[in-house]
Copies of this chain bind each other. A is one copy, B any other.
Amino acid sequence: MKKNPIVEITVRSEFAAAHRLHARELSDEENARLFGPCNNKNGHGHNYDLFVTVRGPVDPVTGMVMNLFDLHTIVKEHIFDVVDHKHLDEDLDILGGRTSTAENLALVFWDIVEAQLGRFAGVELAKIRIHESRGNIVEYCGA
């Protein structure tokens, strides 16, 4: 076994939210053409399936990269409790006016989680993955 092996751990969280894809810099016609049914004025919604992955050395005493309870708590308090049973565009400030694509959600969630990891020495955020539906998946690794 390697000295100080680096392992990734992932927690999963599911939330239900409404949203509408509508870019404020585009005309209504351009939005309708670009986003199609996702531009529906009254919105639609998803059960989002969110995977948050961090990376770090395995502590030789505890056998953990970081305590999974702590990672679950971060995701619950700073993401799930903010977005679950909400309209992503009308109820939230976290998107800062950007369209609520899964890409933008991943970027925003990255910043939210990263801001909480500072107190866990040696642990770094590795990946945010979002399944918007069974067929649409987005991943961001900080690049």
A contact residues vs B (CB 8 Å cutoff): 1-2, 5-14, 16-19, 21, 23, 25-26, 34, 36-38, 40, 42-47, 51, 53, 58, 61-65, 67-69, 72, 84-87, 90-91, 98-104, 106-108, 110-111, 133-143
* Set B7, B23, B134: member contacting A106, Cβ < 8 A: B7
- 6 smallest beta-carbon distances between A and B, as pairs: A45-B45, A42-B87, A37-B85, A18-B18, A63-B101, A63-B99
A12 to chain B, nearest CB (A): 4
Name the B residues within 8 Å of A14 (CB-CB): 133-134
Is B139 in contact with A34, judged by CB distance below 8 angstroms? no
What is the CA–CA distance of A36 and B72 in the complex, to the nearest angstrom? 14
